[in-house]
Amino acid sequence: MLDFDLNVTSAGNHIITAFSTTSTVDLVLELTNAAGTVVLSATDTNPAGASRERLKENLAIGTYRVRVKNYFVSGTFGGTVRVQVANNPTLVSSGSSCNFLTNAGGSSCFDFLAGGTHTAALCGAGGTYHATNSCATVNAGAAPTISGRCLFSMNATTTNGQGFVMRSYYSAGAGVVAPVNNTVGSGDCTSNNVNIDSLGRTIFQ
């Protein structure tokens, strides 16, 4: 069991995610207030092979505690548990990225927060992985118009990566072949999309 202090300085929706470098544990994530009362709890929402849990809550300004508990499942017990908290998609911009600017299925780009464990395997077909550059950097020349941004916690196997992701949707710009407007981007982000978050624990801006 691990406890992390959380100081909320701006009221509003926050996503809290906890993940492990091993797929042999089942995480339970709890949020308590300053008095120690459990505000929110989540468990057993992950597919096989993914040691990740997340919460979404509209938090008031104040002090909270994030508690992460884990249960041994199989294999070799161990691994580092990491916790990330964000209330704004633009906080995710300092790690690696996967660019789908010219993708016919919808022009967009994924930023992966530094401290996550994301790998090139997350890009799949049609995406270009950049280990150290953000979407803003790799698409600086194209200068695409951003129609919206989606914050979510990656639901992938530990082999492919865990942690926060910001998906930027592009509606215009050089190289944009399948524009995505704000309405379409919002629907993709918030409609319990199984490829983003089947429980709708996302923030769209």
96 in the same domain as 74: no
98 in the same domain as 195: yes
User: What is the helix (H) or strand (E) element at residue 13, kind and residue range?
Assistant: strand 12-20
Model pLDDT, residue 179: 96
Domain finish residue from 51, 72, 87: 87
24 in the same domain as 112: no
77 in the same domain as 122: no
Domain span including residue 27: 2-87
Nearest to 93 by CA among 118, 117, 111, 68: 111
Instruction: Tell me how far CA of residue 45 lies from CA of 134, 187, 198, in angstroms.
Output: 29, 22, 9
169 in the same domain as 69: no
Nearest to 38 by CA among 15, 55, 18: 55
Model pLDDT, residue 67: 84
Q: pLDDT tens digits, the chain, 205 residues: what are they?
A: 778 899 999 999 999 988 876 656 677 788 888 888 888 876 655 555 456 788 888 999 999 988 887 755 555 555 677 888 999 999 997 789 999 999 888 999 999 998 887 888 888 778 899 999 999 999 999 999 999 999 998 766 666 678 899 999 999 999 899 999 999 999 999 987 777 877 788 999 9
Model pLDDT, residue 17: 87
61 in the same domain as 7: yes
Nearest to 160 by CA among 127, 129, 131, 118: 118
Q: For the chain, how many structural domains are there in total? A: 2
* DSSP 8-state secondary structure symbol assigned to residue 175: T
The reported pTM is 0.87
